[in-house]
Amino acid sequence: MTEEKQAAIAAVEEKAAVIADVADSVWGYAELSLQEEKSAAKYCKVLEQEGFTVEKGICDIPTAFSASFGSGRPVIGILAEYDALSGLSQKAGSLEREEVVPGGCGHGCGHNLLGAGALAAALGVKAYLERTGVSGTVVLYGCPGEEGGAAKAFMAREKLWYSLDAALTWHPKDVNEVVTGSSNSCIQTQYKFTGIAAHAAGDPDRGRSALDAVELMNIGVQFLREHMSDKARVHYAITDAGGRSPNVVQPRASVLYMVRSNHVSEAVELQKRVDDIAQGAALMTGTTFEKQFIDGLADTVPNHTLETVLYRNFEALGVPAHTAEEKAFADALSKTYPGSDALPGIGAEFDSTVADQVRELRARMGGALNDFLAPLYQGPAFEPGSTDVGDVSWQCPTGQIHVAAWPNGCPGHSWQNVSCGGTDLGHKAAVHAGKVLAATAIDLLTDPAVLEAAKAEFRKQTAEGYTCPIPADAVPVVPD
């Protein structure tokens, strides 16, 4: 690494206490999607103190923000998230289930770390720009509601990401790796049916059951499953069954649907078919319904050029160093869930040679923490989950990494993740992710050939154009 890049990495390390404070503060706030008022305020305050120009409430989303430093091009975006999950309140550093707030929320996906690591990256790039005076701008984007709200997709509807030359982000995981492959697109819609109440025994002919409409809609979708892509998924949850009195014809009921497909354009078409089924259910039952769009997001477009640069920097920086106490904690925590012996990483799942290499690396490490960098894999890969990072990747070249923040095989959205996220295991992951992303951003700022190669690959991959899953009149909402 150049002396200037090394200085930027050192600047990230010098801010380790600030990064840990932000991670712990957001961990403690544990605010749900689109309700992250304290978390967003914390970021904005710190960023203003660090000399960034902060804009709050961007794209008409109250808990979204941008923080920029520098001038001119290239413009590199760093993506931060900070929303929590319900029902996962958990004491930090505990080896057993211990709620801090009964029934409260917790960062089971590690977004308190994700945002802090993105902040670390922005601080490193800022230090580089100050030291060298080169042309370029770094923008940290506060992106709320990844778990339910898809703020990045709403921002994509406003064409925000087209303004970037590239975007970088990361996610806490049980493995150190560069992310590749695609993911599912996803659309969430709530259907609220309205009928007519009546005595279910005395006057059933005068009633029109909204609950019947929900059940018939669900049956209709069950039959749809045979006639959709094998990569598509449709999930649902009855959010209002109309009450607890079986002798009443239920006048109201609602159901929340989630439509997924490997490509956003396919998800949009599949969503129309689900809408038709809702209309049919209403016709069959003599009810009406209101459709409320909740969120939608696109599949992920990989960029191998960015992946290669990320890997080169990850390789140079190594992986987080852990103490004997941290390793012992991880080993003990791994005994609290099944699957702790699974092979980690995207490459190990899709390539037998990579799987053998990862198996050997895990054996060499000999513990639950994966203190190694997984081999670079850039073959076909598909993750069935969804992320609104996908919408960013349709509008500018986008790269991601995973950094180990909890032991091998630790299940997603778990109390174990929350426990790790409030400890030095999580802090170290956030700081290290910031270093890797900052070093990569510096390469993109200073090597026009690399950036142009990433853009050329992006143009080829997205030639069909971006299909936005967000209707023009939709606003971010939390489902009832």
pLDDT in tens, 13-58: 999 999 999 999 999 999 999 999 999 999 999 999 999 999 999 9
479, pLDDT greater than 70: no
Q: How many other C-beta atoms are found inside a 10 Å radius of the C-beta of residue 207?
A: 20
165, pLDDT greater than 70: yes
Q: How many other C-beta atoms are found inside a 10 Å radius of the C-beta of residue 3?
A: 8
| Phi, psi angle pair for 155, to nearest 5° | -65, -35
| Mean pLDDT of the 405-418 span | 97
Q: How many other C-beta atoms are found inside a 10 Å radius of the C-beta of residue 268?
A: 18
| Per-residue pLDDT, 148 | 86
Q: Which helix (H) or strand (E) holds 55?
A: strand 53-56
From first CA to last CA, the distance across the chain in angstroms is 51
| Mean pLDDT of the 226-247 span | 94
Q: What is the pTM of this model?
A: 0.95
| Mean pLDDT of the 216-228 span | 97
| Mean pLDDT of the 258-265 span | 95
Q: With bands split at pLDDT 50, 70 and 90, how would you rate the model's confidence at 231?
A: confident
Q: Which helix (H) or strand (E) holds 239?
A: strand 233-240
Pick from 438, 446, 435, 179: which is nearest to 308 by CA? 179
| Per-residue pLDDT, 477 | 86
Three-class SS of residue 80? strand
Alpha carbon distance 250, 200 (integer Å): 9
Provide the H-helix boundaries in 142-248: 151-157, 210-224
User: Do 156 and 391 form a contact (C-beta atoms < 8 A)?
Assistant: yes
478, pLDDT greater than 80: no
| Mean pLDDT of the 447-453 span | 98
Pairing of strands 166-173, 398-404: parallel
Residue 27 burial by Cβ neighbours in a 10 Å radius (0-12, 13-18, 19+): buried
Pick from 448, 451, 446, 442: which is nearest to 10 by CA? 442
Q: Is the N-terminal amide bond of 411 cis, ω within 30° of 0?
A: no
User: Do 396 and 166 form a contact (C-beta atoms < 8 A)?
Assistant: yes
Mean pLDDT of the chain: 97
Q: How many other C-beta atoms are found inside a 10 Å radius of the C-beta of residue 291?
A: 13
User: Do 426 and 19 form a contact (C-beta atoms < 8 A)?
Assistant: no
| Mean pLDDT of the 176-203 span | 96
Q: DSSP letter for 35, please.
A: -
pLDDT single digits (tens) 57-85: 999 999 999 999 999 999 999 999 999 99
